[in-house]
A and B are shown apart, each in its own frame.
Chain A
């Protein structure tokens, strides 16, 4: 029986991770990904809730384990297949964008939380019961739990490639159903009826799927409101749920010159997870005029011919198209999203004049940073996609790592330029000013680090009514180039914002600002005293780095009262909604965790010699493990150049190695010396990694993928193996000291895992990921000190 239970725990763990990943994708589609983060984080407290529930009802649950365990597994499958469907009903469906504008949405949000907690609670309770029932086999059970979780990530990726998002939950729900079926005792026949009913519901759900209902504020929903708008193609992948939409009213001309008098032809568009991704511009390469010629994006082409062009994040290829129309002889398009490349080479090839088959175009399906580190050629022009969105993105991307917009990335770009080459970056003018100032600060810092003492000779910026484009040249800008830029501005009704010989009056010839502040800020950034300006400015505009790769995180908490005062309480949150939601999530989790940890104490009593030890030990290993995992994920995203696969590789290898560590722990004797050795080695390894990890990854980043994977496993495995030991070792200790505390300990571990996941992101944003890894070592010191206090 125990073998079957171990197998069923493995299956259940597969389904939990797979369900969690698909739930995150679905919530990113119907809402935005930071709300997905929020809901999932809270839902994961289902683990903490299960621990609390188990602490209170332990005896009753264990006395009927033969019935309860399969029922929990089967019903968790049922919950997985039903919660998405229920959350999409009119009564519960909430719109996260309205949270700060319509308070009634809060109730819907709460109902959504409760709903999503269900499958996690039921599954976690099933796992928790086995831990409590079979504490002597904890090493093996934990091994199946961790290995199953590792495999769950791989299963989710496979399903995401094969099925559409709304189809997947019902498919995943089969796994816990099977897990429940294999442990049903033949004596309890009626359980088979429960299973049959579940099978029927799952089958009905598989064959009767409802389309997902997206927030009315998502760009896809707004586009579908346009006349004759139609989704022509939908394909799912770990890069996102890509949808190709057509409408005669869809047009792409960002910040178009007011001197343009022709028609703007309709373009189709691709959306990713319901958000705008890129336009598909219908064109013919024989035409030498292109709509982007009338935008500031065209600025670099006006400084002279660009034969070799590198397009980073080429997306649907509209900038590739532009480069070709401007006479580029060789265009390298770098795009990590293999699905969009496949679409453009197959289904959408006819729409783009077979752009990606053009002999002048070379497609690289790789991350931009990895490409920059491995490629050996030099380019006359390197371009990045437009940053931000029209009218501001409301801080929706604040939590997203943007490795292409760090000083480290700009330095790599700079070093790929030919002697007269330049790179260009465009963004929307936002209000209050954030994006353009941060781009400039990143450029200035880059040039400073490259030993350029007078950056202003190398930079030009041109502003339209809506966009601003910066160009940075490898050598100082020449007089004839400056003349061409001025002529470009005059023709297009644009204004130079920054030139080496800029005159104050020419900055607002066509596009006036209400005051001169924007230009004062630009000038401040160019001064050596810019650090003071960064401190004084209401938003974070100092450059992002690889250690803190959050370009779009502008929020300074001290500015919130000022924003509220100036824009009103309803408006202020929308400036930096992503980060504010993260902070709200953090406080919700802290409160929920506190309650979940305190409540069992009313049942089990507050006083016992072990309570403090249990709390310190299990909170420490919960925090430490997740801090290390988050840092590894963050570091390896850049290393592998593909966030999806690197997350899968890191999580899977960590969990498998920890599972092996857990299995190994069954053979360890609970001696104080061994425990100290394990924790001491973990702390030492973390400290060593904090110093050597980044340089080692930087040194080997140009290696082939397989080699990098091996290096990653070599780095991760020793630490992950050791980190797999403390949890079962701790439970074994509790078996001897106070077995009643096992569910409480498990709950604490769960709660602190969630708390540390959210806090690691906040700490990473505020202080950088080096701080997170140092905190991980401190967290592992907690159980070390706790063990010093424990009585022999």
Chain B
């Protein structure tokens, strides 16, 4: 009898834990991301793999897969899933790429990119957020991610240049140092908008001495004049 109990306990322990949010995540990717036109297979795969519910505060776990940004404290948010996917796709990340992120926040965007690229560097200016993101990413075994707590203005000179840069905490200016640390032909993406309404993305492209920007709108955005 005793051996049966032990066997049951062992069976329970050794049994791989089911991910209770797996289906929600699949639905999120299908309804919120694929249906809105994200096609890049590596982006979709990464979005299916990264457990978003582990990147949101405990009180918000039930909303983790909702189609919206969520507060993570310190006036910061974890972006709407679609925005994260759109930004990832826009960067055209390759498996051999080195990517820099300014504004780690919860670490979710870094985790998504880390699923695709070779090495991921992320900088967070708020110490508390940076520390918890670093711990979270380590626990989830994202070993190709390096987190630094510092002012993102200076970029990460030691690992520059980067194939792509994502600035998740946009400011009123784009630091010249980041432009310098972007490879020729590299892409930088910046979301613009106050918390809870991040909708507009800006793509910065560097081609020789010319730097161009493109405003992108990651929603079905038709003319704002009334339909006649």
Contacts and interface: CB of A to CB of B under 8 A. Distances in A.
A256 B174 contact: yes
Interface string B153-197: 100000000000000001111111001100000000000111111
B116 interface: no
A559 to B, nearest CB: 8
A211 interface: no
A102 B70 CA distance: 9
Contact of B153 (A98, A249, A394, A537): A249
Interface stretch (B3-11, B42-50, B139-147, B212-220): B212-220
Contacts of B80: 568
A100 interface: yes
Nearest to A571: B197
A571 B68 contact: yes
A539 B153 contact: no
B71 A98 contact: yes
B217 to A, nearest CB: 5
Contact of A510 (B66, B198, B212): B212
Contacts of B125: 225-227, 249
Contacts of B226: 535-538
Contact of B213 (A264, A392, A433, A511): A511
B35 interface: no
Contacts of B214: 511-514
A158 interface: no
The SS class assigned to the A binding surface is loop
A574 interface: yes
A103 B134 CA distance: 30
Contact of A258 (B59, B67, B204, B225): B204
A343 B39 CA distance: 56
Contact of B219 (A218, A226, A248, A567): A567
Interface centre among A218, A225, A389, A535 (most CB of B within 10 A): A225
Contacts of A104: 59
Given A217-B195, A390-B171, A537-B224, A225 B74 contact: yes
A539 B223 CA distance: 12
Nearest to A429: B215
A392 B71 contact: no
Q: A101, A264, A392, A539 — which one has the most chain B CB atoms within 10 A of its CB?
A: A101
Interface string B194-206: 1111111010100
A567 B176 CA distance: 32
Contacts of A432: 224
A263 B193 CA distance: 25
B215 A514 contact: yes
Interface in B39-70: 59-60, 66-70
Nearest to B220: A566
A575 interface: yes
Interface residues of B, number: 54
A287 interface: no
B223 A256 contact: no
Contacts of B175: 264
Of the candidates B67, B214, B225, the one having the most CB atoms from chain A within 10 angstroms of its own CB is B225
Given A101-B71, A431-B193, A254 B172 contact: yes
Given A511-B215, A567-B197, A216 B75 contact: yes
Contacts of B223: 517
A260 B59 CA distance: 43
Contact of A431 (B69, B70, B151, B199): B199
A512 B212 CA distance: 8
A394 B225 contact: no
B215 A431 contact: yes
Nearest to A509: B212
A375 B78 CA distance: 51
Nearest to B203: A512
B73 interface: yes
Interface string A243-269: 000001101111110111111100000
B173 A254 contact: yes
Given A537-B225, A571-B68, 12 more contacts: A101-B69, A216-B74, A218-B75, A258-B204, A264-B175, A391-B192, A431-B200, A493-B212, A514-B221, A535-B226, A538-B225, A570-B68
Task: Give me the 7 closest cross-chain CB pairs, A-B, nearest first.
Answer: A256-B173, A253-B173, A465-B213, A574-B197, A512-B214, A431-B200, A216-B75
Interface of B: 59-60, 66-71, 73-75, 80, 125-127, 151, 153, 170-176, 179-180, 192-200, 202, 204, 210-217, 219-226, 228
